[in-house]
């Protein structure tokens, strides 16, 4: 099996918001195809497209009505083929979002094959809560069906062999069309406790936290038996890439490697406080937990979480980029983070309040995403690809080029001053990141290869500065 993804950098494209080719204000596949050279020149190796399937868009494509077609808003299967062909020509791989846990409630299966879904005879049998809040059961007449997410997203019953076969056929359909792999959505949810036991209360729950966190999802996620399905998915996906969306503790996450996923997404940076010590501990815990032969990966942002530039501020977002792109393991970059896009305070359409991090890509000082009215407003357009006034894009390009020199090298924490995170990659490269707004001493001497400030530096660490050194 080729392991191209080990040294690769992934770029997540939120399809609705990347590039609109027909002026309807919604991004589409032809728009993406036209921008692939930008993606290649950025220096990434693979794109992951959020769901392209026909969908009533209640959860923007994660509510699928046909797994083997393209939503007309985004184009056609021919447009998909054209995108894949162009990407491959440019040396970019294409990863599809595969949504196995649920369908839309208007998917024909829901009426034609209700037995493919998780029904209970009677009113809601337990306390299970939807990820988006509220009860996870919807009563219809005498019966209730389970939905981990929206009421309009009934969960499939993965204990039904017919469901497994039908959903494996979906993978085969796209594999034949030439995709390079899948990001498997909501994988941890596929199996639920057959006894339908109540989930226990979460002792760490505090007011203000999302309702979903009031319970520990012991009986609704990450069941031991799930690994059997992970292995089946692995077998069907064959020699292509299997990325898994699994929000679980580090120790549990490692089981997904054993099951056969090559990249069980490591989301822990998203929830770790932005402090040198906390991040250093996280890296060490994660590195130590990796089973033999498992390759690490890191995620700093995605379409479900606030953007990094909003979370840590513009200055630290540069340090964060250096962290993501110099750690050992495959990074996934969220579109727009490479120019420092921020969350846009808007609440128009997403049921879970995620519009702010999904706004249109800022190509030019006029926007440049569409000739029409964008489906969500732009953010601060002084941040854009064309101008790159803060050289955030330039920094990303430099980092992406530089990392090729040490992508496979080992990780070793270096001792550093308070507020500084420092590590070596192999024998000859060191990274020192100042997570504070004050100057700090450098932990090691060496020749400056790159500073997040792009100019000067390396006698010490300036405020909010990260450096890569040759040691
Ligand atoms: C995943 C997706 C998210 C979606 C959910 C339901 O978490 O990333 O956007 O709402 O699954 O499919």
Q: Is the CB of 185 under 6 A from ligand 1?
A: yes
Give the number of the atom of ligand 1 that is nearest the alpha carbon of residue 247: 7
Confidence of residue 42 (pLDDT cuts 50, 70, 90): very high
Task: Answer yes or no: do 333 and 419 share one domain.
Answer: no
Residue 114 CB-density burial (10 A; 0-12 exposed, 13-18 middle, 19+ buried): middle
Task: Answer yes or no: do 322 and 458 share one domain.
Answer: no
Alpha carbon nearest to ligand 1 atom 7, residue: 186
Whether residue 127 lies inside any domain: the answer is: no
Task: Answer yes or no: do 398 and 287 share one domain.
Answer: yes
- If you measure from the C-alpha of residue 185 to the centroid of ligand 1, how many angstroms do you get, rounded to a whole number? 6
Confidence of residue 2 (pLDDT cuts 50, 70, 90): low
- Tell whether the model's pLDDT for residue 316 goes beyond 70: yes
Task: Answer yes or no: do 436 and 328 share one domain.
Answer: no
Task: Answer yes or no: do 334 and 458 share one domain.
Answer: no
The b/e string for 397-412 (b: 16+ C-beta within 10 A; e otherwise) is bbbbebbeebbeeebe
CA distance 97 to 334: 14
- What residue numbers bound the domain in which 471 lies? 409-471
- Tokens 């909010």 sit at which residue? 464
Alpha carbon nearest to ligand 1 atom 9, residue: 304
**pLDDT tens per residue, range 206-265:** 999 999 999 999 999 999 999 999 999 999 999 999 999 999 999 999 999 998 999 999
- Tell whether the model's pLDDT for residue 192 goes beyond 80: yes
Give the number of the atom of ligand 1 that is nearest the alpha carbon of residue 304: 9
Residue 164 and residue 76 in contact, taking contact as beta carbons nearer than 8 Å? no
H-type alpha helices, 216-373: 226-237, 250-253, 255-259, 268-271, 276-289, 308-312, 314-326
Catalytic residues: 185, 245
pLDDT averaged over every residue in the chain: 97
Report the C-alpha dihedral over residues 301, 134, 202, 186, rounded to 10 degrees: -40
Q: Is the CB of 95 under 6 A from ligand 1?
A: no
**What pLDDT does 389 receive?**
87
Torsion over CA: 326, 327, 329, 330 (sign): negative
Task: Answer yes or no: do 387 and 449 share one domain.
Answer: no
C-alpha distances out from residue 187 to 102, 282, 328, 417, 449, Å: 11, 23, 24, 40, 40
Residue 9: closest CA among 38, 47, 41, 37: 47
- Tell whether the model's pLDDT for residue 48 goes beyond 80: yes
Share of the chain above pLDDT 90, in %: 97
Task: Answer yes or no: do 321 and 424 share one domain.
Answer: no
**What pLDDT does 459 receive?**
87
Q: What is the CA 420 to chain-centroid distance, rounded?
A: 27
Alpha carbon nearest to ligand 1 atom 2, residue: 185
Task: Answer yes or no: do 13 and 29 share one domain.
Answer: yes
Q: Which of 392, 408, 424 is the last residue of a domain?
A: 408
Task: Answer yes or no: do 232 and 311 share one domain.
Answer: yes
């Amino acid at each position: 099996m080729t392991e191209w993804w080990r040294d690769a950098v992934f770029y997540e494209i939120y399809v609705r918001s990347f590039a609109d080719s027909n002026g309807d204000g919604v991004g589409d596949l032809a728009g993406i195809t036209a921008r692939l050279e930008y993606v290649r020149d950025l220096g990434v190796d693979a794109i992951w497209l959020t769901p392209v399937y026909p969908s009533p868009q209640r959860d923007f494509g994660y509510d699928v009505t046909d797994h083997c077609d393209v939503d007309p808003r985004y184009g056609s299967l021919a447009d998909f083929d054209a995108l894949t062909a162009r990407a491959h020509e440019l040396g970019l791989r294409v990863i599809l979002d595969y949504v196995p846990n649920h369908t839309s409630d208007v998917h024909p299966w829901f009426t034609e094959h209700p037995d493919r879904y998780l029904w209970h005879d009677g009113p809601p049998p337990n306390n299970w809560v939807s990820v988006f809040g509220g009860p996870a059961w919807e009563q219809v007449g005498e019966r209730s069906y389970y939905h981990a997410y929206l009421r309009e997203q009934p969960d499939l019953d993965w204990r039904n062999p017919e469901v497994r076969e039908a959903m494996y056929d979906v993978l085969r359909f796209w594999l034949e069309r030439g995709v390079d792999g899948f990001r498997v959505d909501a994988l941890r949810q596929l199996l639920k406790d057959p006894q339908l036991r109540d989930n226990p209360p979460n002792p760490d729950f505090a007011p203000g936290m999302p309702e979903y966190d009031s319970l520990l999802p012991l009986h609704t996620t990450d069941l031991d038996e799930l690994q059997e399905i992970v292995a089946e998915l692995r077998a069907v996906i064959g020699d292509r890439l299997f990325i898994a969306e699994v929000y679980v503790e580090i120790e549990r996450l490692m089981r997904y490697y054993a099951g056969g996923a090559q990249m069980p997404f490591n989301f822990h940076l998203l929830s770790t406080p932005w402090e040198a010590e906390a991040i250093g501990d996280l890296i060490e815990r994660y590195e130590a937990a990796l089973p033999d032969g498992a390759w690490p990966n890191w995620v700093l942002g995605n379409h479900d979480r606030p953007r990094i530039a909003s979370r840590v501020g513009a200055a630290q977002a540069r340090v964060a980029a250096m962290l993501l792109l110099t750690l050992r393991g495959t990074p996934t970059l969220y579109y727009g983070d490479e120019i420092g896009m921020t969350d846009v305070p808007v609440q128009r359409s997403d049921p879970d309040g995620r519009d702010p991090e999904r706004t249109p890509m800022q190509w030019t000082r006029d926007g440049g995403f569409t000739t029409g009215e964008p489906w969500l407003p732009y953010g601060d357009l002084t941040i854009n690809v064309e101008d790159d006034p803060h050289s955030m894009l330039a920094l990303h390009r430099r980092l992406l080029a530089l990392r090729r020199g040490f992508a496979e090298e080992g990780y070793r924490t270096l001792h550093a001053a308070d507020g500084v995170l420092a590590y070596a990659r192999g024998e000859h490269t060191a990274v020192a990141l100042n997570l504070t707004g004050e100057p700090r001493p450098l932990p090691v001497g060496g020749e400056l290869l790159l500073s997040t400030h792009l100019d000067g530096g390396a006698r010490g660490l300036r405020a909010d500065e990260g450096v890569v050194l040759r040691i």
